Amino acid sequence: MAIRAVVFDVGGVLALVEPMDFDRRWEAELGLGAGTISRVMADVWDAGAIGRVTEAEVHRVMGERLGLDDARVGAMMDDMWRQYLGVANTELIEYVRGLRPAYRTGILSNSFVGAREREGFGDLVDELIYSHEVGMNKPDPALWELACRRLAVAPGEMVFVDNAPGLVESATGFGIRGVLFTDTRQVIADIEALLRHG
């Protein structure tokens, strides 16, 4: 079956990111025990990943639970977003641009409320699927099905690129051609091999 669509994750693929540790820095600054922010905000982080809270609610709850004023909450969230967004993988982004119009392209990302506006990938691909907008996270099989439906392809006609081995395995289990991102040159070579040989 010929490949008709190529879909990319964002964090660790289209954006090069470091492990999220903004909370450790803030715990030290605020004199909180290790893991406090993750523990007190876990339900809010989870809700933000599937769109069940707004950014304003995240800020409000963070302020209430951690006893912070608006300025401190804003500064902490600015740090979180700086780390979350990482650095654009410009080489891969240019490659993605070059895939169109020969192939349908998409983004399928476990995200956080506010990511679409900050990432700015709206014109890069044909379809943007953010977990916080559709109410489910990878590896939910319904998300693989949604991606295929939106791109109008069968699973075997799609390549999915992610830096998380478990998510690549999940996509492959659904019948999608999975490619594990380890570095940009490798992933472009792997995609090209699939496009040439199916």
pLDDT digits (tens, 9 = 90+) for 11-70: 999 999 988 899 999 999 999 999 999 999 999 999 999 999 999 999 999 999 999 999
CATH label, 5-17+87-197, candidates 3.40.50.720, 3.40.50.2300, 3.30.450.20, 3.40.50.1000? 3.40.50.1000
What CA–CA distances, in Å, run from 178 to 42, 48, 68, 162? 30, 27, 43, 8
pLDDT for position 42: 96
The residue extents of the domains of the chain are 5-17+87-197, 22-85
Q: For the chain, give the mean pLDDT.
A: 95
DSSP string, 33-78: PTTHHHHHHHHHHHHHHTTSS-HHHHHHHHHHHHT--HHHHHHHHH
In the predicted model, what is the mean pLDDT of residues 172-182? 98
